Amino acid sequence: MAYILYGDTGSGAFSAEAVLAEAGAPYEFKLVSLEKNEQREPAFLAINPSGKMPALRLPEGQIVTESLGILLTLADHFPNARLLPPQAGAARTQAYRWLAFMASEIYPMVEISDYPERFVTNGDAEALRQKARERIRERLLIVERMCDGPWFLPSGFSIVDIYAAMFSRWRGSIGKEWLKEGHIPKLDNLAQAVARRPAIAPVWKRHFGDR
């Protein structure tokens, strides 16, 4: 049976789909349009009551939500794909550290940057957006400094690279002009390397085009 991934192109669903593709897993991508607000419709809320994407239905029927939870679940399901460094080692510890950092320190700010009106009612939405963008940029610069190159971890390619590459390409959240100024060259190189991986390349093209 196939995995079923619910999400939209260019969203956090990219990281989950990229891992599925890299692992060679059978899967189906179910489009849930953010533009049409389909994530708030009863059909999707029955899958994830929080109304957030991505969501993954496992072959046995269980639903997994939260992008980091999905990535770690898939890494466990496909150990031969080596999506994480070996267990009980320093590299695995660092992988967990930086995955958690991006999930907790960057991802929440993306929602604020993209939808500031959800958090304020007194007309300060644009000021809040700018504050969230500043936070995202500060945190991405930390990730940039810690990137070993050519992959994030010295041990080689992992789901950390997929996650970091995704965040580096969300121009609307970060600000297009800031990315064009070249503040994160190591992450840019990492993203290009992820985009060139044979299994991920068509997924990247559909989600991010030539970015």
Q: What CATH number did the domain enclosing 36 receive?
A: 3.40.30.10
- Asked if residue 148 and residue 123 are part of one domain, the reply reads yes
pTM value is 0.96
Q: What is the pLDDT of residue 57?
A: 98
Tens-digit pLDDT profile for residues 118-158: 999 877 999 999 999 999 999 999 999 999 889 999 999 99
Query: Residue 123: exposed, middle, or buried by beta-carbon count in 10 A (0-12, 13-18, 19+)?
Result: exposed
- Asked if residue 181 and residue 146 are part of one domain, the reply reads yes
- Asked if residue 62 and residue 102 are part of one domain, the reply reads no
Tens-digit pLDDT profile for residues 180-205: 999 999 999 999 999 999 999 999 99
- 116, pLDDT greater than 90: yes
- Closest alpha carbon to 64 in 201, 161, 74: 74
Tens-digit pLDDT profile for residues 30-72: 999 999 999 999 999 999 999 999 999 999 999 999 999 999 9
- Burial pattern 127-145, b for ≥16 Cβ within 10 A else e, equals ebbeebbebbbebbeebbe
Chosen domain end from 81, 109, 142: 81
Q: What CATH number did the domain enclosing 128 receive?
A: 1.20.1050.10
Whether the bond into 54 is cis, omega within 30 of 0: yes
The parent domain of residue 19 ranges over 3-81
Q: Calculate mean pLDDT across residues 93-104.
A: 98
Q: What is the pLDDT of residue 88?
A: 81
- Asked if residue 178 and residue 103 are part of one domain, the reply reads yes
